[in-house]
């Protein structure tokens, strides 16, 4: 009795401390599929392991989905003696990232600064060959250790001179470049580091990282020329890191930053904003309210430009709490540069960034609108199941179709809508960056339809897509658009190469894009019985005509799915054959097959 009573009381005594339900930066970053990160300190250079400080660790994992060692992977802490590595701090960061399901960036493999004394000493007398061997061994060891854990590396940091000109790359003097260097002239030593890093982890994204390249000018031009040459020659480089150590006084100017981002994106490279902070004038560490507001506007402005640039895939701040920041020690009279204050309270910048994540319109492009079965783009047909790629906004995890109170497939899934000429379409699933919808039958007869994507009430700009009568495609069994088709036996089991269809048997092919139905079909309705497509339908298997016993709506599935019952031609021998259905003169995609026995 007693024990029971105590147990009943327990929830009162040990009630969990529940954080107020606030929107976090991480939630809204996930909804936009942006990596939002921070540098963190894990006990290097004799400092404390801040990951062991509970509010530090909690704030970091609550608000960010990406992490980078502020110092832990630099040469000096990680390679303190010629033959000894110290992975303590780097391993802590890797473990934290794993536990908190955060992505991990690596920083940095080649830099003129933060090198251990033994290395600077070695450089005074070593041959370039010896320096090359030392660098290669370091890259192999460090990249190799975190292979599969670090998804992106700042391979080379700050190698371009501050006085570089547009006419040629002017490289900074360093032990790796020319003092004595690794024996390679010009940017070849940088290229070599990328090649070694790529060998050590072929899956890691490799970045060149630098500061003062956020606006046009000689330094940016030098970086652009270098990476353009790398891309042209197939050097393994995947992105440029823009450090973004700025003030709130206007640099970088938005137009210039967009221009630089476009120039990098045009090369097919990614953009990571790697070290953002916005330093403010402070008195005893305290910034004015006006300056905090200006800082919030700067964070918001840079985030907006990143969100509007598809190639910009990560934004990282250089620390997140003003309690730990390099700024006060480096810029006298400045501080308060990060989104959280010294007590881990969000500053105006946090609300500004959350609002930006939630209000910047997602971008849609017409070539991201494709048939859901074949992933072919182009025009859409009434009732076609389509997939829209690239809407960089939406639920962070997939949400599948649901019926609304009228028994129709819902046109609002997890606050996502897709509109055709202003009318919301039935949705098959929704996920950030990928949503599937049924083109309303109402578009039939129109030349074009205007497609808009919406999440949480924020809408993309409309994209015009041509309308055609039919745009047929067969679903693939593995949803890749080709290979074995989603073809069933009369008993509704999927035909596979392990279990082929007998010749002469009837098979059920599932497709979409067959256009209007005789007598009309309700958009979003579930097909109740059989019906007939308006367009004529023929089919072949292995190039031989296949008799069609039925072609029309698929009873029990959403209107827009086409069911075709075919007889496997008797003349076929055992094998794997292409299946092609022609609807209104338009053929389904190549590459869909059926196994026959």
Any idea which residues carry the catalytic annotation?
158, 275
Which CB sits closer to ligand 9MR, 109 or 235? Answer: 109
Compute the least distance from the CB of residue 174 to ligand 9MR, in Å. Answer: 14
Q: Cβ(273)–Cβ(305) under 8 Å? A: no
- With H, G, I as helix, E, B as strand and everything else as coil, classify residue 380: strand
Which CB sits closer to ligand 9MR, 320 or 441? Answer: 320
Which CB sits closer to ligand 9MR, 330 or 345? Answer: 330
* Rounded-to-integer distance, Cα 495 and Cα 337, Å: 61
Q: Which residues fall within 8 angstroms of residue 529, CB to CB, at 6 or more apart?
A: 555
The CA dihedral of 108, 112, 116, 120, to the nearest 10 degrees, is 150
Which CB sits closer to ligand 9MR, 285 or 520? Answer: 285
Q: What character string, x for contact with ligand 9MR (CB under 6 A) and - otherwise, covers 157-196? A: x---------------------------------------
Which CB sits closer to ligand 9MR, 71 or 523? Answer: 71
Q: Cβ(326)–Cβ(253) under 8 Å? A: no
Which of 49, 59, 61, 71 binds ligand 9MR (CB under 6 A)? It is: 71
* Rounded-to-integer distance, Cα 113 and Cα 189, Å: 16
Please choose, out of 67-75, 364-372, 470-478, 501-509, the segment that lies near ligand 9MR by the rule CB under 6 A.
67-75
Q: Binding to ligand 9MR by residue 243, rule CB under 6 A?
A: yes
Q: Rounded to a whole number, what is the largest CA-CA distance in the chain?
A: 89
3-state SS record for 112-145: CCCCCHHHHHHHHHCCHHHHHHHHHHHHHHHHHH
* Rounded-to-integer distance, Cα 586 and Cα 469, Å: 10
244 alpha carbon, distance to own chain's centre: 21
Please choose, out of 68-76, 215-223, 369-377, 447-455, the segment that lies near ligand 9MR by the rule CB under 6 A.
68-76
Compute the least distance from the CB of residue 158 to ligand 9MR, in Å. Answer: 6
Compute the least distance from the CB of residue 275 to ligand 9MR, in Å. Answer: 5
Helix and strand numbers (H, E) in the chain are 13, 31
Question: To 10 degrees, what angle do helices 128-145 and 117-125 make?
Answer: 150
Please, what is the end-to-end C-alpha distance for the chain in angstroms? 70
Compute the least distance from the CB of residue 326 to ligand 9MR, in Å. Answer: 4
Which of 191, 201, 214, 275 binds ligand 9MR (CB under 6 A)? It is: 275
Please choose, out of 54-62, 66-74, 170-178, 388-396, the segment that lies near ligand 9MR by the rule CB under 6 A.
66-74
* Rounded-to-integer distance, Cα 494 and Cα 490, Å: 10
Compute the least distance from the CB of residue 176 to ligand 9MR, in Å. Answer: 15
Footprint of ligand 9MR on residues 319-378 (CB under 6 A)?
326
Q: What character string, x for contact with ligand 9MR (CB under 6 A) and - otherwise, covers 550-589? A: ----------------------------------------
Please choose, out of 70-78, 163-171, 366-374, 536-544, the segment that lies near ligand 9MR by the rule CB under 6 A.
70-78
Compute the least distance from the CB of residue 243 to ligand 9MR, in Å. Answer: 5
Q: Which two structure tokens, joined as six digits, stand for 584?
A: 């209104």
Which CB sits closer to ligand 9MR, 321 or 430? Answer: 321
Q: Binding to ligand 9MR by residue 114, rule CB under 6 A?
A: yes
Measured in degrees and rounded to the nearest 5, phi and psi for residue 203 equal -90, -15
* Rounded-to-integer distance, Cα 303 and Cα 278, Å: 13
For 183-287, where are the alpha helices, taking DSSP H only? 188-200, 218-232, 254-265
Q: Binding to ligand 9MR by residue 68, rule CB under 6 A?
A: no
Which CB sits closer to ligand 9MR, 214 or 275? Answer: 275
Which CB sits closer to ligand 9MR, 47 or 433? Answer: 47
Compute the least distance from the CB of residue 178 to ligand 9MR, in Å. Answer: 21
Q: Which two structure tokens, joined as six digits, stand for 296?
A: 């919030």
Q: Which two structure tokens, joined as six digits, stand for 174?
A: 């360093």
Number of residues that bind ligand 9MR (CB under 6 A): 9
Which of 30, 68, 70, 454 binds ligand 9MR (CB under 6 A)? It is: 70
Which CB sits closer to ligand 9MR, 46 or 234? Answer: 46
Compute the least distance from the CB of residue 278 to ligand 9MR, in Å. Answer: 14
E strands, 265-408, are 270-281, 312-317, 334-335, 369-371, 385-389, 399-400
Per DSSP, 502 falls in state P
Q: Cβ(205)–Cβ(172) under 8 Å? A: no
Q: What character string, x for contact with ligand 9MR (CB under 6 A) and - otherwise, covers 444-473? A: ------------------------------
Q: Cβ(218)–Cβ(165) under 8 Å? A: yes
Compute the least distance from the CB of residue 76 to ligand 9MR, in Å. Answer: 7
Give residues in contact with ligand 9MR (CB under 6 A): 70-71, 74, 113-114, 157, 243, 275, 326
């Amino acid at each position: 009795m007693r024990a029971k009573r105590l147990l009943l009381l327990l929830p009162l005594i040990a009630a969990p401390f529940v954080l107020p339900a606030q929107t976090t930066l991480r939630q809204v970053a996930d909804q936009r599929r942006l990596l939002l990160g921070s540098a963190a300190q894990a006990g290097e250079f004799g400092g404390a392991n801040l990951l062991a400080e509970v509010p530090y660790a909690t704030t970091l994992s609550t608000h960010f989905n990406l992490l980078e060692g502020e110092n832990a992977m630099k040469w000096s802490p990680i390679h303190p003696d010629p033959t000894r590595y110290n992975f303590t701090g780097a391993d802590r960061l890797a473990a934290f990232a794993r536990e908190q399901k955060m992505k991990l960036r690596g920083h940095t493999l080649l830099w003129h600064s933060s090198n251990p004394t033994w290395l600077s000493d070695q450089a005074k007398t070593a041959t370039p060959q010896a320096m090359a061997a030392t660098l290669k061994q370091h890259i192999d060891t460090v990249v190799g250790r975190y292979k599969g854990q670090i998804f992106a590396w700042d391979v080379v940091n700050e190698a371009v001179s501050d006085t570089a000109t547009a006419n040629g790359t002017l490289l900074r003097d360093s032990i790796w470049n020319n003092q004595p260097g690794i024996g390679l002239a010009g940017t070849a030593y940088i290229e070599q580091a990328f090649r070694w890093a790529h060998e050590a982890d072929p899956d890691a994204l490799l970045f060149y990282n630098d500061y003062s390249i956020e606006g046009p000018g000689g330094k940016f031009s030098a970086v652009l020329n270098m990476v353009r040459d790398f891309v042209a020659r197939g050097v393994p480089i995947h992105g440029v890191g823009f450090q973004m150590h700025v003030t709130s006084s206007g640099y970088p100017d938005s137009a210039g930053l967009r221009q630089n981002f476009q120039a990098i994106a045009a090369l097919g490279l990614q953009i990571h904003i790697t070290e953002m902070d916005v330093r403010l004038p402070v008195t005893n560490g305290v910034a004015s309210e006006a300056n905090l507001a200006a800082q919030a506007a700067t964070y918001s402005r840079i985030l907006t430009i990143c969100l509007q640039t598809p190639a910009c895939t990560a934004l990282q701040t250089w620390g997140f709490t003003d309690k730990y920041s390099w700024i006060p020690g480096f810029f006298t009279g400045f501080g308060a540069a990060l989104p959280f204050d010294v007590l881990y309270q969000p500053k105006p910048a946090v609300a500004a960034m959350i609002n930006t994540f939630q209000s910047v319109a997602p971008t849609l492009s017409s070539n991201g609108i494709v048939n859901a079965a074949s992933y072919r783009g182009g025009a859409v047909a009434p009732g076609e199941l389509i997939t829209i790629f690239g809407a960089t906004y939406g639920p962070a995890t997939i949400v599948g179709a649901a019926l609304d109170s009228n028994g129709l497939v819902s046109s609002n899934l997890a606050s996502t809508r897709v509109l055709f000429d202003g009318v919301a379409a039935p949705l098959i699933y929704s996920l950030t960056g990928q949503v599937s919808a049924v083109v309303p039958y109402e578009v039939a007869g129109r030349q074009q339809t205007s497609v808009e994507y919406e999440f949480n009430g924020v809408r993309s700009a409309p994209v015009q897509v041509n309308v055609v009568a039919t745009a047929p495609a067969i679903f693939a069994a593995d949803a890749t658009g080709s290979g074995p088709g989603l073809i069933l036996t009369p008993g509704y089991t999927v035909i596979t190469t392990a279990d082929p269809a007998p010749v002469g048997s009837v098979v059920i092919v599932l497709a979409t894009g067959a256009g209007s139905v005789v007598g009309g079909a309700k958009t979003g309705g579930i097909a109740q019985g059989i019906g007939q497509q308006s367009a004529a339908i023929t089919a072949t298997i292995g190039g031989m005509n296949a008799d069609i016993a039925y072609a029309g709506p698929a009873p029990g599935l959403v209107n827009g799915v086409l069911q075709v019952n075919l007889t496997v031609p008797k003349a076929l021998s055992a094998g794997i054959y292409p299946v092609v259905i022609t609807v209104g003169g338009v053929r389904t995609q190549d590459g869909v097959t059926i196994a026959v026995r």
